[in-house]
Every structure is written in C-alpha cells, then in structure tokens.
Amino acid sequence: MNALNSVLEARVDLWQKARQKAFKAIPDSGKRIKYLDKEFLVYPNTFWPFADSQPLVKNFKVKPGESVLDVGTGSGVIAVFSCYSGASRVVAVDINPAAIKSAKHNAKMHGFDDIMTVKKSNLFQRVGSEQFDVITANLPFRHKDAHDVVACSQWDTNFKTNTRFFEQVDKHLKPGGRIYFSQAVFGPIKEIRALAKAAGFSMRTLATESAGDDDTKTFYAFVLKRK
C-alpha cells in the first residue's frame, strides 16, 4: 500500500493487531477452527487458518505421489491439504515453536503423521539438500517491523524473510517444480514480483478471493515456475 491509501493501511494495522492479540489469548488446551470443510486446532501463539490461504488451498495442484515443502506452515493447514491431495511426502517448517506444536497436532488429527514431517526451521535452514515437486508458502505479507514471534506471522522486518525465501528457494525445487505463494491486496506485490523475477521465476495469478465485502481483505495465490 502506498501513502495514498494510508486509511486502508491503518485499518489493516488494527485488524492485524487484533488477530495477534487473539493468537496470544488462545487457551493452553487450544482452539478449534473450522476451515473449509475441515477442523484444525491451534495452540497459543499460532496463526490460525483464515481466508488468506484459501485461494491457494482451493486451487493448487498436487499430483498423487508428489513431494511438498510448506514454508511457514503455522497450523499446518496447507501441508494437511497437500496430504489430502495425495502427496506422498510433506515437509512443513516454521520458525515458531507454537506453530510446530499445532501443525504436529493437526497432522496427527487428520491421520497424516506418517506422510507429514513437521520441523522447526528458519525458512530452509533445516531442510537439508532435499528437493521437492511443489513448494508452498504463505509467509508474513507485510514489510513491517515485528517485535515478537506472533507478529512475525504477519509482519516481516525489512522484508528479510520474503527476500531470503526467493534467494534460497531454487535449490529446494526439483527440475520442473512449481511454487504456490500467497499474498494480499495490502502486501507489497510489486516487490514480490521483482524478487521472483530476480530469482529466475515467472509468476502468474492463480486465484483471487475476497473475504466478505471488506476491500482490505482480498487475497491472492500465485504460481511460480522457472523461466
């Protein structure tokens, strides 16, 4: 968003801060969240599944037998849907220990703990040299200072996480592989396009969805392939 729509930006700030407060207030026993036709459980300090990931989850293609790496897995929602699509191996990583606990719970709850491996990792740090058919990412959308791990689910200080993602993703993608990437109308999509281009990827809009009639809550899924 630029200075012209600072009113919208202030509304997004309020909404995101309220979400962060809600993530912190989840009871220790967890909170059940209905997402599409399924249920997920989140433990305190976990980003809970929301409309932002739905353009990706409803439209991405994982062929039976393919491998998937989900970066910034949160509750594990995209990873779990990858398993439902028939993936034979799914690795789900997140920097936040609370997200790891939630994603492990959800992998088991959906009966995929044999297919889905959940690991604490700063981006690809603990992924090793494995390459995947599909990489999915719903990373923090905004270029904004984050002062704790909960804020890191929505804000990216100096846009470092998004920048490093594009610097490092190529070596974890198989030849012919594809990346599915989420963003929002209030995120720096131009910057994402530039990062993708610099990393050698083409980027196409796969789907767009708005949550209700709120003009700040329009979300995108992009598909990226090597040029």
Ligand X SMILES: C[S@@+](CC[C@H](N)C(=O)[O-])C[C@H]1O[C@@H](n2cnc3c(N)ncnc32)[C@H](O)[C@@H]1O
| Rounded-to-integer distance, Cα 166 and Cα 45, Å | 26
| Amino acid letter, residue 187 | G
Residue 126 or 227: the one with the smaller Cβ distance to ligand X is 126
Nearest-approach distance from CB 13 to ligand X, in angstroms: 16
Contact flag: residue 138 with ligand X (CB under 6 A): yes
Interface stretch with ligand X, choices 8-16, 72-80, 185-193, 202-210 (CB under 6 A):
72-80
Considering only residues 134, 139, 185, 207, which one is a binding residue for ligand X as defined by CB under 6 A?
139
The token duo for 132 is 């995947």
Q: Which is nearer to ligand X, 78 or 196 (CB)?
A: 78
140 binds ligand X (CB under 6 A): yes
- Sole binder of ligand X in the list 20, 45, 54, 73 (CB under 6 A): 73
Asked whether position 53 contacts ligand X by CB under 6 A, the answer is yes
- How many Cβ atoms from other residues are within 10 Å of residue 167's Cβ? 14
| 118 in Cβ contact with 73 (< 8 Å) | yes
> For residues 182, 105, 151 and 36, what is the CA-based torsion angle, rounded to 10 degrees?
40
Q: Which of 90, 93, 179, 207 binds ligand X (CB under 6 A)?
A: 93
24-48 residues labelled b (16+ CB within 10 A) or e (exposed): eebeeebbebebeeeebbbbbbbbb
Length of the chain as a residue count: 227
Q: Which residues here bind ligand X, judged by CB under 6 A?
A: 47, 49, 53, 72-75, 77-78, 93-96, 99, 122-123, 138-140, 152-153, 161
